[in-house]
């Protein structure tokens, strides 16, 4: 077993264990911090998959943006006195049944399908190529993405602001 395999298993273990922390933690604050482990582990997996730009974007946007926003929302909405039961779960048995069924089907598909695998080349820097693709082949989706982000920005402000009466 090579060293890189060991590092892969460590990162995959970090990802899976902290995802389990998100799913099973009884305290929403612990779940929020566990989510950081999942995001960082996923970024590590992206580096292993030779996607350096996506890994950096993952750290910047997920850990630096979405996670901070979630912790803000947790702190703003969650009352200190019921910290122990802040993350109530219901319906464990039917949920386990559904998840086990879906995961079983997906695992069967993953393990039995003969995926057309190519031998991956050496990892090269991807940023310049991704930038060129965004400004050439994927220009229209890129512009739509900016419109979606603008709409989300305005929508979030419109939803969360206080109602102002004119009189």
Partner 1 sequence: MIGLTHYLIVSLVVFALGLFCVLTRRNAIGILMGVELILNSANINYLAFARFGSGNYDGQIFAIFVIMLAAAEAVVGLAIVLGIYQTFRTIDVSATETLRG
Please pick, from the candidates 80, 117, 122, 140, the single residue that binds partner 1 as defined by CB under 8 A: 117
* Interface pick for partner 1 out of 80, 110, 122, 164 (rule CB under 8 A): 110
Give the interface size with partner 1 as a residue count (CB under 8 A).
Answer: 82
Between CA 16 and CA 147 the distance in angstroms is 34
Contact residue for partner 1 among 69, 125, 135, 139 (CB under 8 A): 69
Give yes or no for residue 40 binding partner 1 (CB under 8 A).
no
Q: Least Å distance between CB 167 and partner 1?
A: 22
Q: Which of 125, 135, 139, 156 binds partner 1 (CB under 8 A)?
A: 156
3-class secondary structure, 118: coil
Q: Smaller CB distance to partner 1: residue 80 or 90?
A: 90
Through-space distance between the first and last CA atoms of the chain, rounded to whole angstroms: 74
* Residue recorded with tokens 């939803």: 159
Contact 74, 29 (CB under 8 A): yes
């Amino acid at each position: 077993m090579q060293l890189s395999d060991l590092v892969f298993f460590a990162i995959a273990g970090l990802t899976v264990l902290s995802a389990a922390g998100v799913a099973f933690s009884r305290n929403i604050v612990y779940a929020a911090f566990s989510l950081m482990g999942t995001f960082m582990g996923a970024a590590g997996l992206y580096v292993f998959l030779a996607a350096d730009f996506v890994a950096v974007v993952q750290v910047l946007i997920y850990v630096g943006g979405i996670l901070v926003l979630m912790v803000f929302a947790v702190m703003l909405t969650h009352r200190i006195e019921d910290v122990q039961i802040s993350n109530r779960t219901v319906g464990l048995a039917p949920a386990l049944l559904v998840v086990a069924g879906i995961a079983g089907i997906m695992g069967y598909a993953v393990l039995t399908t003969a995926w057309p695998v190519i031998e991956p080349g050496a990892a090269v820097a991807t940023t310049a190529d991704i930038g060129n693709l965004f400004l050439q082949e994927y220009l229209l989706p890129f512009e739509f993405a900016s419109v979606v982000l603008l709409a989300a920005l305005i929508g979030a402000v419109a939803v969360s602001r206080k109602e102002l009466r004119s009189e």
